[in-house]
Amino acid sequence: MRRFGRELARLRTMSGISQRALGRETSVSGSLIGHYERAERNPNKGWVERADEVLDADGSLVALWPEVLRSSYPEYAGTFMEAVPQASLLRDYHPLLVPGLLQTRDYAYALIKAYNPMETEDFALDLVEKRIARQEVLHGSSSPVIWTIITEGVIRDLEGDPDILTGQVDHLIELMDRGRVRLQVVPATVRFREHPGLDGAFSLLSLPNRQEVLYAEGPVSGSMVTDSGMVEWMSLKFGSLQSVALPPKETREFLKEARGKVDGHTKLAQVELQQWGRGPLRGGPGGPADGERA
């Protein structure tokens, strides 16, 4: 990322353009340009392409994009994230969260803030931008098929944050509609003794030459495993999770039901608020005395 920042500053200076002027041309603030040049924030690919054009860089900034992308995830996850674009299939299971590649900006921001309550706003926004940047892999013509399994609780946990829930559910449905993402939900009715995914999240990558790779990530570390026996075992586990999860069609209906439930509660609350506003005040003239309202 530092190399990209230096090249951006060099090209901008050679062009005689201020940070503020470049920001205007690329629809960001001048201060954000400064963050890019000092390697404090990561731009997305679209911005890099636009800046390359504005500065007549002849592709030199775009050529550095892979380095920017690599800097947007933890060092221990680097090899895995670099392998994802090469894969034909990514199978992903997470019992607690929407996986990062499928998160909306609002979901990612809320999650990062919850995980890092003592950090600054700039810190959180920087991590959000890095997470969103990783999702570029979803938009290529040769992007991998992603088969994700989550638990019902991942969606139900958002019911207290209806704006995040509706945005995230809409995003998941949109990704499913594109055809490259398949999603299944393990319902809460699956009994404890029958649940094959209680020991945590994992991912499986299908790479060229029939190579299969397992990736398991903890709170502060992650590891890639190529041992054929372990990979086969976790592949069977993913199959077991598929068997207890709702099929994709039923998963879509579950997502719509979860969204409709939130919409219904919101509309009901609005109606009740309107009715209360039109009605007499408690204990006021013509209204029930305190304690008489049910």
pLDDT in tens, 107-153: 999 999 998 888 888 888 988 988 888 888 888 777 899 999 999 99
Q: Where in the chain is the domain with CATH 1.10.260.40?
A: 2-70
- Alpha-carbon gap, residue 111 to 114, rounded angstroms: 5
Q: What pLDDT, on a 0 to 100 scale, did the predictor assign at position 254?
A: 96
Average pLDDT value for residue range 95-104 = 95
Interior/surface letters 173-201, b for 16+ CB within 10 angstroms, e for the rest: bebbeeeebbbbbbeeebeeeeebbeeeb
Contact 90, 84 (CB under 8 A): yes
- Alpha-carbon gap, residue 69 to 169, rounded angstroms: 26
pLDDT confidence of 283, banded at 50, 70, 90? Answer: very low
Return the top range by mean pLDDT from 4-8, 71-75, 92-96, 220-224.
92-96
Instruction: List Cα–Cα distances, 274 to 123, 186, 266, 267, 268, in angstroms.
Output: 40, 38, 12, 11, 10
**Is the pLDDT reported for residue 28 higher than 80?**
yes
pLDDT in tens, 62-88: 888 777 766 544 443 456 777 788 888
Q: What pLDDT, on a 0 to 100 scale, did the predictor assign at position 273?
A: 46
Computed over its alpha carbons, how large is the radius of gyration of the chain? 24
Write the DSSP symbol of residue 50: H
Which residue would you say has higher pLDDT here, 271 or 106?
106
Q: What pLDDT, on a 0 to 100 scale, did the predictor assign at position 241?
A: 97
What is the β-pairing status of strands 181-186 and 145-151?
parallel
**Is the pLDDT reported for residue 277 higher than 80?**
no
Which of the listed CATH numbers 3.30.2270.10, 3.20.20.70, 1.10.260.40, 2.60.40.10 matches domain 2-70? 1.10.260.40
Average pLDDT value for residue range 35-48 = 81
Contact 148, 182 (CB under 8 A): yes
**Is the pLDDT reported for residue 91 higher than 90?**
yes
Among the ranges given (5-19, 27-41, 148-162, 270-284), the one the predictor scored with the smallest mean pLDDT: 270-284
**Is the pLDDT reported for residue 53 higher than 80?**
yes
Q: Is 93 helix (H, G, I), strand (E, B) or coil?
A: strand
pLDDT in tens, 193-206: 999 999 899 999 89
Q: Where in the chain is the domain with CATH 3.30.870?
A: 75-262
Q: What pLDDT, on a 0 to 100 scale, did the predictor assign at position 138?
A: 83
- Alpha-carbon gap, residue 79 to 71, rounded angstroms: 12
Cα–Cα nearest to 81, from 97, 65, 66: 66
Q: What pLDDT, on a 0 to 100 scale, did the predictor assign at position 271?
A: 46
Q: Which residues are within 8 A (CB) of 207 and not within 5 positions of it... i.e. 6 or more apart? A: 83, 86, 87, 88, 213
Q: What is the mean pLDDT of the chain?
A: 83
Contact 252, 185 (CB under 8 A): no
* Phi and psi torsions of 12, nearest 5°: -65, -45
- Alpha-carbon gap, residue 90 to 181, rounded angstroms: 10
- Alpha-carbon gap, residue 229 to 233, rounded angstroms: 6
Name the token pair of 175: 């990704």
**Is the pLDDT reported for residue 192 higher than 90?**
yes
- Alpha-carbon gap, residue 219 to 200, rounded angstroms: 11
Q: What is the value of pTM for the model shown?
A: 0.67
**Is the pLDDT reported for residue 163 higher than 90?**
yes
Q: What pLDDT, on a 0 to 100 scale, did the predictor assign at position 74?
A: 47
Fold observed for domain 75-262:
Endonuclease; Chain A (3.30.870)
Q: What pLDDT, on a 0 to 100 scale, did the predictor assign at position 228?
A: 84
Return the percentage of the chain with pLDDT > 70, whole number. 83
Q: What pLDDT, on a 0 to 100 scale, did the predictor assign at position 247?
A: 96
- Alpha-carbon gap, residue 84 to 136, rounded angstroms: 11
pLDDT in tens, 213-258: 898 876 656 677 878 889 999 999 999 999 999 999 999 999 999 9
